[in-house]
Amino acid sequence: MRRICLTLPTNRACPQTIAAIGEEAAYAAAHFDVEAHLLILDSSDPDTFAEHSRAVRALPDVPRVVVHHLDEAAQRDFLRRVIGAADVAKPELLLDLMLPAGLSYGACTNRAFLVAAALGCESVHRRDSDSRYQTVDGKPVFPVHHELMSLGKTAAQAAHGVTESALEPRHADKRVAMVGSSFVGELSVDIGEIHRLDPEVYYDVVSLWAPDHWTEAEKRDLVDESFRGAGSDTFDRDHALLTLVDPMRVDMCNISFHDVHERVPLPPATDTIGSDYFLIHLVHDAALPGVLHNRNIVNYYTPERRTDAGFLAYQTRFAKFFLSMLYFNHIYERMGAAGEALLDDRGHVRASAIAGFARESTALDRAGNVRRLDRLDTAYRRLGGRYAEFADHLAARRERLLDEARGDIEDFALLTEAWEALVGASRDAGPLLTAGTAGTAGHPA
- More confident call, 131 vs 128: 128
For residues 126 and 7, the answer to whether their CB atoms sit within 8 Å is yes
For the stretch 374-379, contacts whose Cβ atoms lie closer than 8 Å and that sit 24 or more positions apart, written own/partner, are: 375/204, 375/205, 375/208, 376/205, 376/208, 376/319, 376/322, 378/204, 379/201, 379/204, 379/205
- Please give the residue that has the higher pLDDT: either 308 or 425: 425
Dmax over CA atoms of the chain, in Å, equals 58
> DSSP string covering 322-390, please?
HHHHHHHHHHHHHHHHHGGGGB-TTS-B-HHHHHHHHHHHTTS-THHHHHHHHHHHHHHHHH-HHHHHH
pLDDT at residue 307 in the model: 74
pLDDT digits (tens, 9 = 90+) for 85-94: 999 999 999 9
For residue 173, which amino acid is it? D
The tens digit of pLDDT for each residue in 396-422 reads 999 999 999 999 999 999 999 999 999
Mean of the pLDDT values across residues 195-216?
90
Q: Is the pLDDT confidence value at 336 over 50?
A: yes
Residue 436 has pLDDT above 70, yes or no: no
Query: Could you tell me whether strands 297-299 and 164-165 are parallel, antiparallel, or unpaired per DSSP bridges?
Result: unpaired
Contact 427, 420 (CB under 8 A): no
The per-residue pLDDT for range 357-410, each reduced to its tens digit, is: 999 999 999 999 999 999 999 999 999 999 999 999 999 999 999 999 999 999
Question: How open is the CA angle 64-176-256, to the nearest 5 degrees?
Answer: 50
Percent of the chain at pLDDT > 70 equals 94
pLDDT for residue 435: 42
Residue 305 is predicted with a pLDDT of 58
CA 106 – CA 361 distance, rounded (Å): 19
3-state secondary structure of 125: strand
In terms of pLDDT, which residue wins out, 196 or 98?
98
List 242's β-bridge partners, or say none.
165, 291
How far is it, in rounded angstroms, from Cα 242 to Cα 159? 7
Q: What is the mean pLDDT of residues 172-195?
A: 85
Can you tell me the mean pLDDT for 264-288?
A: 96
Q: What is the pTM of this model?
A: 0.94
- What's at 264, amino acid-wise? V
Residue 439 is predicted with a pLDDT of 37
Strands (E), 183-225: 183-185
Instruction: Say yes or no to pLDDT of 254 above 90.
Output: yes
Over range 130-147, report the average pLDDT. Answer: 93
Percent of the chain at pLDDT above 90? Answer: 80
Q: State mean pLDDT over 239-253.
A: 95
Q: What does the angle CA 355 – CA 358 – CA 359 come to, to the nearest 5 degrees? A: 90
Q: What is the pLDDT of residue 442?
A: 41
For residue 11, count CB atoms less than 10 angstroms from its CB and return exposed for 0-12, middle for 13-18, buried for 19 or more.
middle
Given a cut of 90, whether residue 109 has pLDDT beyond it is yes
Question: Per residue in 45-61, pLDDT tens?
Answer: 999 999 999 999 999 99
**d(C-alpha 166, C-alpha 84), whole Å:** 45
Mean pLDDT of 15-41: 97
Instruction: Give the pLDDT confidence score for residue 232 in this predicted structure.
Output: 75
Confidence of residue 17 (pLDDT cuts 50, 70, 90): very high
Mean pLDDT across 214-236: 82
Query: Mapping DSSP to helix (H, G, I), strand (E, B) and coil, where does residue 26 land?
Result: helix
Q: Using pLDDT thresholds of 50, 70 and 90, give the confidence band for residue 191.
A: confident
pLDDT of 188 strictly over 60: no
pLDDT of residue 432: 57
- Confidence grade of residue 441 (pLDDT, cut at 50, 70, 90): very low
Q: Which helix (H) or strand (E) holds 68?
A: strand 65-70
